[in-house]
Amino acid sequence: MKLFVGIDVSLKDFKARIFDVEGEEIAKRLRAKNDDPGAESFVKYLVEICSANDVDSLRIGLEATSVYGWHLQMHLAGEPALVPFHPQVYVFNPKVVANFRKQYVDIPKDDWFDCLVIADRLRFGRLPESCQVDFRYLPLQRLTRFRHHLIQTITREKNYFLTNLFFKFNTICQNKVLSDTFGAASEAILTEFLSPEEIAVRPLDELIDILMEKGKSHFSDPEATALKHAASCAYRLHGSLLEPVNLILATSLQTIRTLEQQVKGIDKAIEKELSHFKNTLQSMPGIGPVCAAGLIAEIGDIHRFDNEAALAKYAGLTWRKHQSGEFEADDTPLTKTGNAYLRSYFVLAANSVRIRDPKFAEFYHRKFKESTTHHHRRALVLTARKLVRVVDALLRSNQLYVPQGQRRVT
């Protein structure tokens, strides 16, 4: 007998309903606290129901709602008492559940009905990869996901910094006077001088000396001349705003420096954790420890995917086909319904690989020219899709990467 369990998880508790293949509810509804004792009581309840009904297949589904269901998912996936019933745990994208829910007419919106919708989605079939958690990859996954979070935070902070920089020194943003807005020379300009006026009135030789010292001799004379000209053309900020804006800029820069230092510490931890996994991904030019770790942490065991197309679908690097009759659209959107972290690391790796590998560089430039809009972004995503094939092959064969054109034919 096969049973389907739909679970709705919230911060404090979770609810579950159990159905058979005909969609009949065969047991009392269960509500338990979202903690370890609650999960244990749920497991005992499932064991009783399965034993009483001679169950040989147990499918459990829940929605991916933030981190609320993570512990319960891990508990069910690694529970020895459920092994005799061959459990499979599925975590659905909320969009999948929401779209499936639309087939029901005039239905209530409550947690118990959500359990029914999830269980019916299990009965419907065509399911994603079951959880089957491999606990070996979880430490690496937590580290790489946290690094992803730090990089996004740095990007947001830099954008906020540039917004405030425009208040103080609009022309330095408009004309890109500095080669590195967040470098040592830039920091000196923004901290040593209260306003653009102070830069404009300084003698050029004195300005060059200050910037050469602060910029560790990486600041050229033409840049100093351009900076002085930009300062003379900049808007003058009201005197009462100068101190607050300078404080914001200094604090924002300090935040960015702190975050960058944290990334370096996480990178070391990632390299250490990555050493536990033998792989040949780093034999490919452009794929370093961070990209390799991000890919391995999200892919896990490559053999759980039938082929590279399944891996690309899991990463969300596929495109929706738009066709009707003899018409077929040229502009097809990326699905973006897969693993966002894996997709991000594939794109990051692709951007690095296309700089260092001639064949990938050629492919990228060809797609760049073919694109009618968003040239770089579209070409980069297509390059990432091409990279999926190589990563899949390297993980399956565990052989060193050999560039195209240098491979021996056997």
Alpha helices in 300-406 (DSSP H): 308-315, 340-356, 358-370, 375-397
- Given a cut of 70, is residue 249 above it in pLDDT? yes
Highest mean pLDDT among 87-96, 225-234, 240-249, 345-354: 345-354
H or E element in which residue 203 lies: none
C-alpha 104, offset from chain centre: 33
pLDDT digits (tens, 9 = 90+) for 7-60: 999 999 999 999 999 999 999 999 999 999 999 999 999 999 999 999 999 999
Residues in the chain: 410
Q: What secondary structure letter does DSSP report for 51?
A: H
Sign (positive or negative) of CA dihedral 107, 112, 118, 122: negative
Backbone angles phi, psi at 299, to 5 degrees: -75, -40
pLDDT band at 127 (very low <50, low <70, confident <90, very high): confident
pLDDT tens digits, 137-155: 999 999 999 999 999 999 9
pLDDT category of residue 328 using cuts at 50, 70 and 90: very low
Rounded to a whole number of angstroms, the distance between the first and last alpha carbons of the chain is 50
Spatial distance between the Cα atoms of 122 and 116, rounded to a whole number of angstroms? 10
What is the gyration radius of the CA atoms in the chain, in angstroms?
A: 28
Place of tokens 């972004």: 377
> Beta partners for 62?
7, 91
Q: Residue range 285-289: average pLDDT?
A: 95
Judge whether residue 269 has pLDDT over 90.
yes
pTM listed for this prediction = 0.82
CA dist., res. 329 & res. 273, Å (int): 45
Mean pLDDT, residues 179-187 taken together: 79
Q: How far apart are CA 351 and CA 363, in angstroms?
A: 12
Q: Is the pLDDT assigned to residue 364 strictly greater than 80?
A: yes
Task: Give residue 325's pLDDT.
Answer: 47
Confidence of residue 205 (pLDDT cuts 50, 70, 90): confident
Q: How far apart are CA 190 and CA 284, in angstroms?
A: 41
- Evaluate if residue 282 carries a pLDDT over 90: yes
Burial of 176 (0-12, 13-18, 19+ CB in 10 A): exposed
Q: What is d(CA 15, CA 29) in angstroms, rounded to the nearest whole number?
A: 7
Q: Which domains does the chain have, with CATH numbers?
A: 2-124 (3.30.420.10), 141-271 (1.10.287.4070), 281-397 (no CATH)
Top pLDDT among 206 and 395 is at 395
Report whether 214 contacts 192 (CB < 8 A): yes
Q: Is 70 exceeded by the pLDDT of residue 323?
A: no
pLDDT at residue 193 in the model: 84
| In the block, residue with structure tokens 């808007």 | 235
Strand partners, 324: 327
Residues 6+ apart with CB under 8 A from 155: none
| Nearest to 367, CA basis, from 384, 349, 390 | 384
Q: What percent of the chain has pLDDT over 90?
A: 60
Enumerate the H helices of 169-288 as residue ranges. 170-174, 184-192, 196-201, 204-214, 221-233, 239-274
Confidence class of residue 384 from pLDDT cuts 50, 70 and 90?
very high
DSSP state of 236: P
Please check whether residue 363 is in contact with residue 341, taking contact to mean a CB–CB distance below 8 angstroms: no
